[in-house]
């Protein structure tokens, strides 16, 4: 099995925000929650985005230590 890709800043942000939004808005579908979180992300300050970029960098370094030979190779779609 191939190792997972390291999460980017938005993925980490979403991972933190989703449980609270889901608890407050149980009627929303996953697609609606995704749009809601994306709107929140677009409205965040540069400082907040920078915080999540730093977290993503830390996660990327941990990923590099765990999977030193990892290279992202997307699957090619067959015809």
- Tokens 């099995």 appear where? 1
Question: In whole angstroms, what is the distance from residue 79 CA to residue 75 CA?
Answer: 13
Residue 64 vs residues 39, 49, 68: alpha-carbon distances, Å: 31, 22, 5
- Alpha-carbon distance of 29 to 26, in angstroms, equals 8
The span from the CA of 24 to the CA of 36, in Å, is 12
Q: Which residue has the higher pLDDT, 79 or 28?
A: 28
- Residues 10-36 have pLDDT tens digits of 999 999 999 999 999 999 999 999 999
Q: Domain locations in the chain?
A: 9-66
pLDDT at residue 74, rounded to an integer = 87
């Amino acid at each position: 099995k191939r190792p997972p890709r390291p999460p980017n800043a938005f993925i980490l942000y979403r991972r933190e925000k989703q449980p609270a939004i889901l608890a407050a808005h149980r009627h929303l579908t996953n697609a609606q929650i995704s749009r809601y979180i994306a709107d929140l992300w677009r409205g965040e300050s540069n400082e907040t985005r920078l915080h999540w970029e730093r977290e993503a960098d830390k996660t990327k370094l941990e990923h590099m230590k765990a999977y030193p030979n990892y290279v992202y190779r997307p699957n090619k779609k067959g015809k």
